[in-house]
Amino acid sequence: MARAPWWRDAVVYEIYVRSFADCDGDGVGDLPGIRERLRHLADLGVDAIWLTPFYPSPQADHGYDVADYRGVEPLFGTLTDFDELLRHAHELGLRMIIDIVPNHTSSQHAWFRLALVARPGSRERARYYFRPGRGRSGDRPPNNWTSHFGGPAWTRVPDGEWYLHLFDAGQPDLDWTNPEVGDEFESVLRFWLDRGVDGFRVDVANGLAKAEGLPDTRRGTPLPFTDQPAVHDVYRRWRRVLDSYAGDRMAVAEAWSDDAELRARYTRPDELHQAFNFHFQVADWSAAAFRRVIEDGLTTTSMIGAAPTWVLSSHDQPRHVSRYGGGEVGLARARAATLLMLALPGSGYLYQGEELGLPQVDVAPEHRQDPTWARSGSTDAGRDGSRVPIPWSGSAAPYGFGPGSAATWLPQPDDWAPLTVAAQTGLAGSTLEYYRAALALRHEHLAGLDEPLEWLPSPPGTLAFGRGRLVCTTNFTARPRRVTVEGRPLISSGAPVEGSTAVVRLPPTTTVWWVRR
């Protein structure tokens, strides 16, 4: 029987390039820094890494504003550094996927610069959404859309036209009805596939197509800039490109769609391979909420034979330790949630630093850099708190982030010394050693296992399910719970389990894996 493609059950580690490791000592992470630290990831036991955008960019949205899709931002290194990183990752047995940002370019992209100096109605403007304004003097935006970062989604240029940007003004939306755009992106995909990347994470995958005529949004009706049917033509084309390369190249969609059926469409057999399941990421800490999102995720993907995905933290959301309440309780819940996630069918996406148990940081207003902060009129603190550079070693900032003592681009807290990779390595009970053990056990017991999940009876406030010989039990409550398990405990996210072989006391806020007898 053919082996299932690697991505169906891979654990993929997200690297936020600015914040992972700094080689040249400027306080900003870079590609050579990642290369130097790849050992950490191989030792951790992940299967693949995902790099956030590292392309030339004015960094208005930290790289999600791409000025040139075929290069490397000098702040992060060179194309040779990229090739070296990829080669080294492959040598260590790690796959590498990269972010592709097709919804918008940077306002510094050559196409947009040409569009700005071209006249209304020109071919140069037709790659973006330039429109006249409303009102007698055209001084009102063409429609009522707002930016995801706050404020209007339109900015006016000196000749009076407006251009659309669903995010920052430095991120103009491309017009995917223009065939030049599709051709350009096919060529960009090939550029990186030819260099050997294993796949892509598709940024704002559900936003590329807009409803014809760019109608106003209206309460109670579907948004005119997400999940439009035409977006799927793009991914059918991309799938043909990916399939034309050897080696199971893949793509995972970032598509925040509430409707399960709409989400499933992105992973139909002739489209992308996976889509993130953000409902799992934002589920409340309760047995009922988790069971609901797990069942929903499994049903959505099984309808079309796709592989489910699970994620708890990312560069866009508060870290799960803090989302679950912070402190000791938050950490206990986060560890329990991770072990539960790693037992589920499909693939899991980890975010850098979660293996250290890092909490969300309350970045002081004067240091905030996320465009959300300014665009929301300083009402939304934005996402900087999950993007603080990784502490590697030492007792004070920058905790070995770079070779010198340069301040990191976002300040690190003073109390991170016990959380560094060095401090946790070899330390019994540390979150890092716990992740390593969990990932090794996942490989041993679940790799390549095509078994669906089977729910098992368990008391209120707990969940239990089996997969193959593995049983996963989670106690979401703050009190011990008795569960019946015919098995031997393999790993606990918290205290060890007590009890006879069949009926055991599951410690509070803990997940335990068992191997069935």
Contact 390, 20 (CB under 8 A): yes
Contact 100, 203 (CB under 8 A): yes
CB of 101 to ligand GLC, least distance (A): 6
Binding-residue total with ligand GLC (CB under 6 A)? 9
Q: Which of residues 439-458 bind ligand GLC (CB under 6 A)?
A: none
End-to-end CA distance of the chain: 27
271 near ligand GLC, rule: CB under 6 A: no
CB of 371 to ligand GLC, least distance (A): 8
CB of 61 to ligand GLC, least distance (A): 5
Comparing CB distances to ligand GLC, the nearer of 234 and 463 is 234
CB of 315 to ligand GLC, least distance (A): 6
- Catalytically annotated residue among 9, 65, 81, 203: 203
* Tokens, residue 496: 């060890």
Report how far residue 356's alpha carbon sits from residue 506's, in angstroms, rounded to the nearest whole number: 24
Neighbours of 457 (CB within 10 A): 8
Comparing CB distances to ligand GLC, the nearer of 164 and 504 is 164
Angle between helices 431-446 and 327-343 (to 10 degrees): 10
Q: Which residues pair with 163 in a beta bridge?
A: 130, 155
Instruction: Name the pairing type of β-strands 462-467 and 498-499.
Output: unpaired
Known active-site residue 254: yes
316 near ligand GLC, rule: CB under 6 A: yes
Instruction: Name the pairing type of β-strands 274-275 and 250-253.
Output: parallel
Report how far residue 157's alpha carbon sits from residue 161's, in angstroms, rounded to the nearest whole number: 6
Binding ligand GLC (rule: CB under 6 A), the pick from 7, 167, 399, 465 is 167
CB of 501 to ligand GLC, least distance (A): 46
280 near ligand GLC, rule: CB under 6 A: no
Q: Which of residues 90-119 bind ligand GLC (CB under 6 A)?
A: 101
DSSP 382-399: -SGGG-PPPP-SSSSTTT
Binding mask 239-258 for ligand GLC (x = CB under 6 A): ---------------x----
Pick the closest to residue 34 from 110, 70, 87 (CA basis).
Answer: 87
- Which residues, 6 or more positions from 309, have their beta carbon under 8 angstroms from its beta carbon? 252, 274, 275, 276, 277, 297, 346, 347, 348, 349
Q: Which residues pair with 15 in a beta bridge?
A: 51
Comparing CB distances to ligand GLC, the nearer of 63 and 402 is 63
Instruction: Kindly tell me the burial class for residue 166, based on how many C-beta atoms sit within 10 Å of its own C-beta (0-12, 13-18, 19 or more).
Output: buried
Give, for 231, the enclosing helix (H) or strand (E): helix 231-243
Instruction: Name the pairing type of β-strands 462-467 and 454-455.
Output: antiparallel
CB of 164 to ligand GLC, least distance (A): 14
Three-class secondary structure of residue 161 per DSSP: coil
Angle, CA 311 vertex, CA 56 and CA 255 arms, to 5°: 60
Binding ligand GLC (rule: CB under 6 A), the pick from 28, 169, 204, 242 is 204
DSSP 281-336: HH--SSHHHHHHHHHHHHHHHHTTTPPPEEES--TTS--HHHHTTSHHHHHHHHHH
203 near ligand GLC, rule: CB under 6 A: yes
Known active-site residue 26: no
Q: Which residue is nearest to ligand GLC (CB)?
A: 64
CB of 475 to ligand GLC, least distance (A): 33
Pick the closest to residue 206 from 165, 251, 265, 148 (CA basis).
Answer: 265
Contact 301, 307 (CB under 8 A): yes
CB of 411 to ligand GLC, least distance (A): 20
- Catalytically annotated residue among 254, 354, 355, 384: 254
380 near ligand GLC, rule: CB under 6 A: no
CB of 74 to ligand GLC, least distance (A): 21
Q: Which of residues 42-71 bind ligand GLC (CB under 6 A)?
A: 61, 64
Comparing CB distances to ligand GLC, the nearer of 64 and 409 is 64
Query: Which residues are known to be catalytic?
Result: 203, 254
Which residues bind to ligand GLC, rule: CB under 6 A?
61, 64, 101, 167, 203-204, 254, 315-316
